[in-house]
Amino acid sequence: MTLQEVIDLAKQLSTVDKVRLIQQIVPDIEQELIHEIPTPRQSLWGLCADLGKAPSADEIDAARFEEWATFAREDI
């Protein structure tokens, strides 16, 4: 039986029977969720490790100086 067939059958129930169905199914779902083992997440440390060595502070300062050297400055 497919999920769609089950849904179609559930739609044919009276409102009271639908509530009873939900009351019977919810404890099973709760038990499955409690016993479900969470998948371990990958640590964010080292996320960029494959990109190679990070630039040093001196290299960053030199690049910043090069970029701002041609920036137009006007005294106000």
The structural domain count of the chain equals: 1
**23: domain range?**
3-35
- What tokens does 48 get? 């960029």
Cα-to-chain-centroid distance, residue 48: 19
Q: Is residue 68 part of a domain?
A: no
Is the pTM of the predicted complex or chain greater than 0.85? no
Q: What is the pLDDT of residues 7-65, one digit of tens each?
A: 999 999 999 999 999 999 999 999 888 887 777 887 787 777 788 888 899 999 999 99
Which of 26, 27, 10 lies closest to 18, judged by CA? 10
Q: Is residue 66 part of a domain?
A: no
Q: Is residue 60 part of a domain?
A: no
Contact by Cβ (8 Å): 21, 10: yes
Is a pLDDT exceeding 60 seen at residue 76? no
Q: Is residue 27 part of a domain?
A: yes
Q: Is residue 57 part of a domain?
A: no
Q: Is residue 11 part of a domain?
A: yes
Q: Is residue 21 part of a domain?
A: yes
Q: b/e for 4-23, b at 16 or more Cβ within 10 A?
A: eeeeeeeeeeeeeeeeeeee
